[in-house]
Amino acid sequence: MDTAVADEQPKLRITVDPTGPDEVVVAVYGELDCATADQFRGVLTELLNRGDIHAIGVDLRGLAFIDSTGVGTLVVAQRISAQVGVRLRLIAVSAFATRVLGILGVDVMLGLPPARIDRADLVHTD
């Protein structure tokens, strides 16, 4: 399955590839934001409704941008998946998305290792 948003909207491309009899990888390319999150949510809902999927890997290597709506969509998808007995986890993430997810504190919940904080990035106010 391969879907894309119309030209006048921010670009998002999603592919779904089986990796086993009950496992798939959902790869996301472009921007996952308030304009495209519904498309991503629709793909995940379709997979969960099938009833024969037990694991979903989400590949965000091709993600150039993610906003709070995109992050919220990932968090809700993980929670709903867990409720229906499907393991959803991030399997690859772009540097930008890694940073955003780490700052928001949802990286570990979504299957990523804990973010390392570079003390040079911290702002000190005295």
pTM of the complete model:
0.82
Could you list the residue range(s) of the whole structural domain that residue 35 is in? 2-113
Per-residue pLDDT of the chain (126 residues; tens, 9 = 90+): 555 544 555 589 999 999 999 999 999 999 999 999 999 999 999 999 999 999 999 999 999 999 999 999 999 999 999 999 999 999 999 988 988 998 898 988 888 876 555 555 555 555
Q: Residue 98's domain is classified under what CATH number?
A: 3.30.750.24
Residue 120 belongs to a domain: no
Question: Rounded CA gap, 33 and 52, in Å?
Answer: 28
Domain membership of residue 97 (yes or no) is: yes
**121 in any annotated domain:** no
Q: What angle do CA 15, 57, 33 make, to 5 degrees?
A: 60
Greatest CA separation found in the chain? 57
pLDDT of residue 4: 54
